Amino acid sequence: SYVLTQPPSVSVAPGQTARITCGGNNIGSKSVHWYQQKPGQAPVLVVYDDSDRPSGIPERFSGSNSGNTATLTISRVEAGDEADYYCQVWDTSDHRLFGGGTKLTVL
């Protein structure tokens, strides 16, 4: 079965750029979606179809996807961006699959 691999944690200083990866076999051929989840809250969709943003999501959030790695990039990181981030793809038989999640720490 398909597996999505995310680093458990990423740390970045305020104002810098955070990059969170999501690895999978030929993931570039799939559409990847990204969710932000803050403690005690439901997830929020921040990027869909690799690089599109829902309305209300800041332009600081962007995505890319090629080869075996999809990447969520957060520019000019703020303290409020500290959260868990999950990637998600469509899997065979119209199922959905999540990565294990990455905890973003703002130093």
Partner 1 sequence: QVQLVQSGAEVKKPGASVKVSCKASGYTFTGYYMHWVRQAPGQGLEWLGWINPHSGGTNYAQKFQGRVTLTRDTSISTAYMELNRLTSDDTAVYYCARDHGISNAMDVWGQGTTVTVS
List of residues contacting partner 1 (CB under 8 A): 31, 33, 35, 37, 42-45, 48-49, 52, 54, 86, 88, 90, 93-101
CB of 15 to partner 1, least distance (A): 28
Using the minimum distance from each CB to partner 1, give the nearer residue, 4 or 106: 4
How many alpha carbons lie under 13 Å from residue 76 in its C-beta half-sphere?
A: 3
CB of 100 to partner 1, least distance (A): 5
Using the minimum distance from each CB to partner 1, give the nearer residue, 17 or 87: 87
Residue whose pair of structure tokens reads 């703002």 in the numeric block: 106
Distance CA 14, CA 31 (A): 29
**CA end-to-end distance (rounded Å), the chain:** 36
